Amino acid sequence: MRLVKYDLDAFGTGHVFEREHVYAKKKTKYQSIEIARLDYLGKVLVLDNIIQLSTLDCDRYHETFAHVPMSCLQTPTRVLILGGGDGILAKELLKYDVVIDLVDIDKYVCELSDIHLRDMNDASLTDRRVNVYNLDALEYCSEVEHKYDVIFADITDPHPESPSRSLLSKQAIGLYKSLLTEQGIFVTQVDNVQIAPEHRKNVQRTLRLNFNQVGEFAIAALTLSGLFGFVWASDTTTVKPNKIAVPTNWLNHERSMFCFNLLRLALGDNDE
């Protein structure tokens, strides 16, 4: 075991954990991948030396991401995940009667997660209702003919070397909107709102150019070093706290309300 520094951004900010075991390490044409066990966090997926998820905070991140928007729709039938090759968001969405299209450019994230993260993703990547495409997300979205009730951008943080850096541009958002149903929702993670405050604000500005309604919710997670945000957009559906009708380990109605109030209460006058 040894102490290892993991990054929080592309500028050298980081945090240190004791690494207890390495399950897999691989350098692909897109990024570096590590699956390991750390003190406090448990099993983690690390991309480009940035921790993406952990056993500790897996439920609060993925349940909130999935069920907050899904609880606002009556009968969703098809959803799209951009990124999400770890399969955990797909696991949560399989709790609904939906077909899931998952587009992750790096096939090795999917392959290694299917081997080493099955205790967290319940083998969702091999479920018959999940269609996995190892393609560029914009290429896929330019050619697909399906309409989606929700599009989830479960992508890596768009630092300069990230394969996801172009996926939240004005052009990309317009493309995603064209794939949504009339009541459809687009939702994306926007990183730690204190470490990368401009990312959240930039995404909101871009979404307001395309959608009638834009809002946000958040969680607090050790894995993600504090306040971690999500931004949603829709023309006709308002995303708000609702009863969670599927089984969950962490999320309930009270915590859903907490997620919608967290940023206002935590940031206060500093959120400018």
What DSSP line would sit under 9-58, residue for residue? STTS-EEEEEEEEEEEEEE-SS-EEEEEEETTTEEEEEETTEEEEETTTH
Distance, CA of 32 to chain centre: 18
Closest CA to 237 of 63, 64, 71: 71
Packing angle of the helix pair 58-70, 253-267 (nearest 10 deg): 100
Euclidean distance between CA atoms 78 and 55, whole angstroms: 28
Predicted local distance difference test score (pLDDT) of residue 43: 98
- Helix, strand or coil for residue 258? helix
Strand pairing report for 130-133 and 148-154: unpaired
From the list 154, 191, 235, 269, the catalytic residue is 154
Do 46 and 35 form a contact (C-beta atoms < 8 A)? yes
Euclidean distance between CA atoms 33 and 194, whole angstroms: 25
Alpha-carbon Rg for the chain in angstroms: 17
Mean pLDDT by groups of 10 residues along the chain of 272 residues:
87 91 97 97 96 97 98 97 98 98 98 98 98 96 96 81 76 96 97 91 95 98 94 98 96 96 87 68
Does residue 154 have an active-site annotation?
yes
Predicted local distance difference test score (pLDDT) of residue 187: 98
Predicted local distance difference test score (pLDDT) of residue 159: 57
> Is the whole model's pTM more than 0.85, yes or no?
yes
Predicted local distance difference test score (pLDDT) of residue 9: 79
Predicted local distance difference test score (pLDDT) of residue 11: 79
